[in-house]
Amino acid sequence: MEELFLTLLFLSVYPYGIYPAVVYGMSRLFSDVWCKGVVRPSVTIIISVYNEEKGIGEKIKNTLSLEYPQELLEILVISDGSTDKTNEIVSGIKDPRLILRFFSERSGKTACLNRVVPDAKGDIILFTDANSIFPSDVLFKLVRNFYDQDVGSVTGWTKYVEEGKKKETTGIYSWLEMQTKYWESLISSCVGADGAIFAIRKSLYKPLDAQDINDFVIPLHVLRQGKRVVLDPEIYCFENLSKGQGDEFRRQTRITNRTLRAILRHPRFLNPFSYGAFSFFLFSHKLLRFLVPFFIAGAFIVNLLLLNNSMMYVGFLFIQLLLLGLGLVNLMGKLEGRLTNLCKIFLITLFAQFTGWIRRFRGISDTTWTPQR
């Protein structure tokens, strides 16, 4: 029983605390850095939208102002059944680089990409969202990674700011996620991409199942074709912090559900004899992380059964209850602080992951998503 408790405790901590340290050490021992150089490929930026009238004007203005040769840039706005003024706003902006593709029947972002990507003119396709704002030099920094012919996809990361303010509020979780993917990239390929800012060579795009989560499955297709997927820390976008805890919970639930579906549909990537270190990354970074709610629940139950064995288990139980309590009081808005906020984020993530599993087993796809803006 004690060995079971220690095993469950280790598995609870491993994906978030131990794995990043392991992959960091691996990146120092087995580094295989990709080359960067000056290249100027044609680029198509695809902005996927659904009822984004509040922010689409700012997004397009930001995209049109990016530093890159105008003749090499195309901007495609995919409107997936928008019913507000999104289409009207986009149509009202006159620029030869800007194209609106409107689909009256809503089918989900992935299905729209299948329709639009084959017609894109760019050699490089950059995927982004309506609420993601780019630095002016992002394209120059992005395309230099494609100088290396072994690189098939490049992702950046998201920095969060408070709405109406310029102060960055990116938390430790987002920062650690970015660093972990970067360390994975230094060895072979990172697991998944940031849907707000990632690019692919158009020649590597393969049609997706309509229920696929594109920012996870597209990189898998790139890997299957023998190319690398890398994160460049100098490539990033800005987004406003989520306004509500419910929004974040729904987002994490959807990501868990759809990523689990992708892993179950592509089990070959867990085979280390075929995909080497990436299989270890996928197992540790995604699969074990999604299982953490069950590891923690199991450790808690076994901890209760071991209370009479030693005061050490009383201490373990106290720590678990303390962290739970700190997260709950922060959720209720009664105790602010870095530790309590971290506990709150962790609680939301755990419950979202558990809910994602339930929805996966119930066969719910979460294909479409309504922005809470």
Give the DSSP H or E segment for 303: helix 292-305
Report residue 295 CA to chain centroid gap: 23
What mean pLDDT do residues 177-205 have?
96
* Statement: residue 265 has pLDDT above 60: yes
Q: What is the pLDDT of residues 80-92, one digit of tens each?
A: 999 999 999 999 9
* Spatial contact of 104 and 72, defined as CB atoms under 8 Å apart: no
Q: 271-305 pLDDT, tens per residue?
A: 999 999 999 999 999 999 999 999 999 999 999 99
Specify the pTM: 0.91
Domain borders along the chain are: 43-241, 287-361
* Six-digit token string for 59: 């997004």
- The pLDDT of residue 41 is 97
**Rounded CA gap, 85 and 264, in Å?**
39
Query: Coil, strand or helix: which one is 77?
Result: strand
Q: What is the dihedral of CA 7, 12, 17, 19, to 10 degrees?
A: 70
Architecture of the 43-241 domain: Alpha-Beta Complex (3.90)
Per-residue tokens: 36: 């960067």
Q: Give the whole-number percent of the chain exceeding pLDDT 70.
A: 95
The average confidence (pLDDT) of the chain is 91
